[in-house]
Amino acid sequence: MASSEPVLLANVGRPDSHTRAAYEAAGGYRTWRGVLARQSPAEVQELVRASGLRGRGGAGFPTGQKWSFLAQDRPGPIYFCLNADESEPGTFCNRVLMELDPHQVLEGLLLSCYATQAATAYFYLRYEYPLAYRRVEAAIAECYAAGYLGRNILGSSYSLDVFLHRGAGAYICGEETGLIESLEGKRAWPRVKPPFPAVEGLFRQPTVVNNVETVACVKHICERGSAWFRSLGVPPDPANPRDSGSFGPKLYCLSGHVARPGCYEAPLGIPLDELIERWGGGVWQGRRAKAAIPGGISTGLLRHDEFHCRLDFADPLKFGCLGLGTAGVVVLDEHVSMVDFLHNSCRFFAHESCGQCTPCREGTAWALRILDRIRAGRGRWQDLELLLEIGDTLGIIPGTTICGLADGAAWPIKNAIRKFRDEFEAYIRASNPDGYLETHPVRALDDRHLQVRS
């Protein structure tokens, strides 16, 4: 893929990049002043719609279309919630933006609020990001001091207040309705939809929820135009009517067993192997890759022979993954046990399930108990079929849960077992040579049996 000029990370690495002075010296807030003086909210909304921007938080829903759902005829305010609860394992691009270029995020937030006519915005920040909290808090104060926030901004009739709110330290708070419930001071249980937040969200008023990288892209769309944005990425597949294209720049988080882990910017659609070799310096210590998580642990797995997969919103689906997700790529080398990987994944989702939906609450816990038993040397080949049954019947896609956490829990199970079944069967046979073919029910483990067999 050809090189492109970095825009989202353009200020990262410059001295004091987190301050308003440094941001304005690089042209910051010029777009905000120009839009406020010369463009209407409807024009900004149409610009974003025409750009084809899709949400960068995981689902990839078209941003302009989401904004168009707002119930403008209802009395009362419109709220904007900025989702900075970056809890997907392997993902840290929002943290980079908030710590090193918070004013870019705020300018994008200002433009997004103006386009949707929101007078109040809540910046919902992951609790485990203390430096990002201090940087964003200082940046908001600088915006008020400069007149970019508050009443009658820059002499216009538009007013906006931004409130920084630290999250509850839970994965489920990243789900948009769980986030809204948390903001209202309640347990972060996702809401049944409809009504969707654009109709009835925060405090039962029309609400938009977008993530940090999404609003940062809005800033550059307003500055450079929708044609520029659509010139980057991958156009829609004519053979797939559900593919609306994957346009614009994307921040890829690269971690795991690579020589140069980090946050890198490239157009949507870069092949996974190119990201690993060109930006990540290849697999570390001269080893070979076994697999990779393409977009956060909830998206599943790609085998090493599937690394030609393009990292856009459509191609990972062709390889049996849930989607692009957050583009948090984690590389696993040849020494990683897929049994240990799946156990770690199941343990995470069993812990993070909010417990509201029975299939998710019981399914994630059941999967973890089966993996505990396998690692303790009491597994059976039949357990793999039980795990696949759990994975295939869990989540929004089969229609059993309110939110997508269960889908995120299911995809690593389905991918790991179906793509690495030989390894799972070999592990079970070696660790339980006398009982791996057993089909009768077996006793549950107690604490004495949780010791892992080497």
Confidence label for 4 from pLDDT (cuts 50, 70 and 90): confident
Determine the pLDDT at residue 453.
Answer: 55
Statement: residue 2 has pLDDT above 60: no
Statement: residue 454 has pLDDT above 60: no
Determine the pLDDT at residue 169.
Answer: 85
Determine the pLDDT at residue 46.
Answer: 96
> Domains, the chain, ranges and CATH?
20-231 (3.40.50.11540), 246-332 (3.10.20.600), 338-449 (1.20.1440.230)
Angle 327-329-334 (CA atoms, 0-180°, nearest 5)? Answer: 160
**Closest Cα partner for 59 from 166, 170, 174?**
174
How far apart CA 240 and CA 259 sit, in angstroms, is 37
Residue 450 and residue 372 in contact, taking contact as beta carbons nearer than 8 Å: yes
pLDDT tens per residue across span 100-117: 999 999 999 999 999 999
Statement: residue 449 has pLDDT above 60: no
Determine the pLDDT at residue 441.
Answer: 79
Determine the pLDDT at residue 442.
Answer: 78
Mean pLDDT of all residues in 329-335: 97
The reply to whether the predicted model has a pTM over 0.85 is yes
**How much is the mean pLDDT over the chain?**
94
Determine the pLDDT at residue 448.
Answer: 54
| Token output for 193 | 């939809």
Statement: residue 391 has pLDDT above 90: yes
Statement: residue 452 has pLDDT above 70: no
Mean pLDDT of all residues in 121-135: 97
Determine the pLDDT at residue 275.
Answer: 97
pLDDT-above-70 percentage for the chain = 97
How far apart CA 430 and CA 194 sit, in angstroms, is 50
Determine the pLDDT at residue 450.
Answer: 58
Mean pLDDT of all residues in 219-227: 96
| Token output for 57 | 């938080």
Sign of CA dihedral 407, 419, 275, 352: positive
Statement: residue 138 has pLDDT above 70: yes
Determine the pLDDT at residue 345.
Answer: 97
At residue 66, what is the residue type?
K
- Could you give the strand order of the β-sheet that contains 289-293, starting from the edge strand earlier in sequence? 262-267, 249-256, 328-333, 289-293, 302-303
Determine the pLDDT at residue 58.
Answer: 82
User: Residue 235: helix, strand or coil by DSSP?
Assistant: coil
Determine the pLDDT at residue 451.
Answer: 59
| Token output for 407 | 């889908």
| Token output for 10 | 């353009």
How many C-beta neighbours within 10 Å does residue 59 have? 16
Confidence label for 217 from pLDDT (cuts 50, 70 and 90): very high
Q: Which of 67-81, 260-274, 293-307 has the lowest mean pLDDT?
A: 67-81
pLDDT tens per residue across span 236-268: 988 888 888 999 999 999 999 999 999 999 999
**Helices 421-431/381-392 angle, 10° precision:** 140
| Token output for 419 | 């793509």
| Token output for 254 | 């690269």
Statement: residue 1 has pLDDT above 70: no
Confidence label for 445 from pLDDT (cuts 50, 70 and 90): confident
Statement: residue 440 has pLDDT above 90: no
Concatenating the DSSP letter of every residue in 375-416 gives IIII--HHHHHHHHHHHHT-STTTT--SSTHHHHHHHHHHHH
Determine the pLDDT at residue 447.
Answer: 58
What is the number of alpha carbons within 13 Å of residue 102 lying toward its C-beta? 25
Statement: residue 331 has pLDDT above 70: yes
Buried b (16+ CB within 10 A) or exposed e, 226-243: beebbebbbeebeeeeeb
Residue 302 and residue 271 in contact, taking contact as beta carbons nearer than 8 Å: no
Mean pLDDT of all residues in 143-163: 97
Confidence label for 57 from pLDDT (cuts 50, 70 and 90): confident
Determine the pLDDT at residue 72.
Answer: 76
Determine the pLDDT at residue 242.
Answer: 83
Residue 173 and residue 182 in contact, taking contact as beta carbons nearer than 8 Å: yes
Determine the pLDDT at residue 241.
Answer: 83
How far apart CA 121 and CA 190 sit, in angstroms, is 20
Confidence label for 32 from pLDDT (cuts 50, 70 and 90): very high
Determine the pLDDT at residue 234.
Answer: 93
How far apart CA 447 and CA 23 sit, in angstroms, is 55
Instruction: Give the number of residues written for the chain.
Output: 454
